[in-house]
Amino acid sequence: MKHIKLLAVLFISALTITSCSDDDPVVINEEEVITTMTIELTPNGGGDKVTLQSKDADGEGPTAPVVTGGTLAANTTYTGVITLLNELESPAENITEEVAEEADEHQFFYSSNGVSGTFTYAGTNDSNGNPVGINFTVTTGSAGTGAYVVTLRHEPNKSASGVKEGNIANAGGETDIQVSFPITVQ
């Protein structure tokens, strides 16, 4: 009986050793550290560029981010581009490049709260043709004040209903960053 137990232990040990082989690389994509989100909005047809920014100098520390909103013209379409940085690194790490490289695992979502804004994806798509949202357009409506909310989701379910059209409700995944920018449309 001792021999059977010894053989069983040796067999299990051999399986464990071979299953932990260095031949199988482990790839871990850690969550991005994002301290700064900058959105440049350029009005189609000319005019002044508007810059929205959220800057969190201590990352996930106790100090709240400083958020700068903007004033947009009514009934105007703006071309937008997002830049994400990790400014805890020196020099600052451009997280936008990582999001583009891992396009299948990321998507930006846009919404307006109390102020007009219709968002449309533009530019970068993932390998399945689904939007990433680094580039977009926003069309304002009538005058008002409120906020534009921008959310970056990590590993959203892009095949879920409405997700590729920008509906975050069924996206799932985890939020990498979400910012509510104060907006005035006049």
Per-residue confidence (pLDDT) for residue 61, from 0 to 100: 84
Tell whether 115 is covered by a domain: yes
Tell whether 3 is covered by a domain: no
pTM of the predicted protein model: 0.82
Domain count, the chain: 1
Per-residue confidence (pLDDT) for residue 28, from 0 to 100: 39
| pLDDT tens per residue, range 50-76 | 999 999 988 888 999 999 999 999 999
Tell whether 133 is covered by a domain: yes
Per-residue confidence (pLDDT) for residue 17, from 0 to 100: 40
* 53-82 burial code (b ≥16 CB/10 A, e <16): bbebeeeeeeeebebebbebeeebbbbbeb
Question: For a pLDDT cut of 90, what percent of the chain falls above it?
Answer: 78
Residues in CB range of 40: below 8 A, 6 or more apart: 49, 50, 51, 80, 81, 83
Per-residue confidence (pLDDT) for residue 73, from 0 to 100: 97
Tell whether 25 is covered by a domain: no
Q: Do residues 163 and 140 make contact, with C-beta atoms less than 8 angstroms apart?
A: no
Q: How much is the average pLDDT of 3-9?
A: 42
| Residue 75 belongs to domain spanning | 30-185
Per-residue confidence (pLDDT) for residue 16, from 0 to 100: 42
Tell whether 149 is covered by a domain: yes
Tell whether 66 is covered by a domain: yes
| The two structure tokens encoding residue 154 | 């990590």
| pLDDT tens per residue, range 97-139 | 999 999 999 999 999 999 999 999 998 899 999 999 999 999 9
Tell whether 96 is covered by a domain: yes
| pLDDT tens per residue, range 36-47 | 999 999 999 999
Q: Which residue is listed with tokens 């709260």?
A: 113
| The two structure tokens encoding residue 38 | 């900058």
Tell whether 119 is covered by a domain: yes
Residue 141: CA atoms inside 13 Å, Cβ hemisphere, count? 11
